[in-house]
Amino acid sequence: MAAKHEKLIEEIKGLTLLEVSDLVKALEETFGVSAAMPTATVAAATVAPAAPAEAEKAAYKVTLQSVGADKIKVIKTVKALLPNLNLADAKAKVEEAPAVIADSVPKDDAMKMKKELEAAGAKVELA
């Protein structure tokens, strides 16, 4: 750093906060600039670290994409995974494929559902 800058910094260190505030205002007026951080930069700085490329989702949507060869086995699996459905509702859900089987499910439960449905022959997507 140049000696000029160091001398200015030492002088500013000796000022009170009120005097520094007045100095900043005077510099802004003199040079037509603002000492405030631009809002776009603030927004970018706030968003970038908070959204990493591989962010872990908290909840998943389990979608039955296709039934496969063994429709009865898939219906039984859906019925077992969703005990609140009766057999007719489970059958209707499977026949509607692609259909959402569960929404806002924790990752572990969604992975379990996908594994069981795929074991029954269905094609499943997690979103």
pLDDT in tens, 77-113: 989 988 888 889 889 989 988 888 888 888 888 899 8
- Let me know if residue 108 belongs to a domain: yes
- Let me know if residue 104 belongs to a domain: yes
pLDDT at 32 over 70: yes
Q: Are residues 74 and 116 in the same domain?
A: yes
Alpha-helix residue ranges (DSSP H) falling in 32-85: 39-50, 71-81
Q: Are residues 73 and 109 in the same domain?
A: yes
- Let me know if residue 70 belongs to a domain: yes
Q: Are residues 13 and 65 in the same domain?
A: no
- Let me know if residue 55 belongs to a domain: no
**Domain boundaries, position 21:** 3-50
* Count of domains forming the chain: 2
Burial 17-44 (b: 16+ CB within 10 A, else e): eeeeeeeeeeeeeeeeeeeeeeeeeeee
Average pLDDT, the chain: 82
